[in-house]
């Protein structure tokens, strides 16, 4: 956790704590198995334990935390079955989004997506995996926003924590970053060409690669990755 992080006192604390802790979990700053103390978090961020409790409960609902009453709270292991479910949900929705966006152009979408890909190039050269991962998420969220389906993004986001962490472990693999950027460029080009079938083809390739390597990732990180849906 970053002790320099402070909360905006003009806004409710619980949503901010949820976002901060979730990002730290997805970025693996809080790796699987990390124990969290409600009292220590409250002291760190200068708040009461009530908003901390609310934030932790929401993270537990997303299965990013395992809360054992009267015992402990820990960051959950990365569940491959939950990652597969999130992938199925995300792929199903985004395939339809791309079809709609390729057939019904949204003004400014292509240039906005291209701008995000250029940022990804910058972060790739800087070897900034955290920022590249964020711009990857922004790329996909923009598709939902352009199609006026932002509520579906919230649904996908709430189920994607395990998939996002699995992808974060996969990012450093040789060639992975280059493939992400290339696939994003291909998706943008297909949208610009009004070719929904080609856009969907590139998306399938883009979203499926991490799960194809899931077994290897589990071998590389056996202390972090599990084949179970529930805590053990």
111-161 pLDDT, tens digit per residue, is 999 999 999 999 999 989 889 989 999 999 999 999 999 999 999 999 999
Helix, strand, coil % in the chain, rounded to nearest 5:
65, 5, 25
Q: How many alpha carbons lie under 13 Å from residue 139 in its C-beta half-sphere?
A: 26
159-186 pLDDT, tens digit per residue, is 999 999 999 999 888 889 999 999 999 9
In this structure, what CATH number is given to the domain that contains residue 25?
1.10.10.10
Q: Are 20 and 96 members of one domain?
A: no
Q: Are 154 and 46 members of one domain?
A: no
Q: Are 86 and 57 members of one domain?
A: no
How many domains would you assign to the chain? Answer: 2
Structure confidence at residue 230 as a pLDDT band (50, 70, 90)? confident
- Rounded CA-CA distance 153/90 in Å is 9
Q: What is the mean pLDDT of residues 77-102?
A: 97
Establish if 104 belongs to a structural domain. yes
Name the residue range of residue 22's domain: 13-76
11-34 pLDDT, tens digit per residue, is 899 999 999 999 999 999 999 999
Q: Are 23 and 131 members of one domain?
A: no
36, 60, 76: which is the final residue of a domain? 76
Structure confidence at residue 232 as a pLDDT band (50, 70, 90)? low
76, 101, 121: which is the final residue of a domain? 76
Q: Give this prediction's pTM.
A: 0.90
Q: What is the mean pLDDT of residues 196-215?
A: 94
């Amino acid at each position: 956790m970053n002790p320099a992080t402070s909360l905006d006192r003009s806004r409710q604390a619980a949503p901010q704590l949820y976002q901060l802790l979730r990002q730290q979990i997805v970025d693996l700053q809080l790796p699987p198995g990390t124990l969290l103390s409600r009292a220590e978090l409250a002291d760190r961020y200068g708040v009461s334990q009530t908003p901390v409790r609310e934030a932790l409960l929401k993270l537990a609902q997303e299965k990013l935390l395992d809360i054992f009453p009267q015992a402990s709270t820990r960051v959950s292991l990365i569940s491959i079955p939950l990652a597969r479910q999130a992938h199925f949900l995300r792929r199903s929705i985004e395939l339809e989004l791309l079809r709609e966006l390729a057939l019904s152009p949204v003004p400014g979408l292509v240039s906005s997506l291209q701008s995000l890909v250029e940022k990804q190039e910058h972060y790739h050269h800087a070897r900034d995996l955290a920022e590249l991962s964020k711009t990857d998420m922004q790329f996909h969220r923009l598709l939902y926003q352009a199609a006026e389906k932002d509520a579906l993004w919230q649904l996908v986001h709430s189920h994607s924590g395990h998939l996002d962490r699995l992808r974060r472990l996969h990012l450093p693999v040789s060639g992975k970053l280059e493939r992400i950027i290339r696939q994003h460029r291909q998706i943008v080009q297909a949208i610009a060409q009004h070719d929904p079938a080609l856009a969907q083809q590139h998306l399938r390739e883009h979203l499926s690669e991490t799960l194809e390597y899931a077994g290897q990732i589990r071998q590389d990180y056996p202390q972090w990755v599990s084949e179970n849906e529930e805590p053990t």
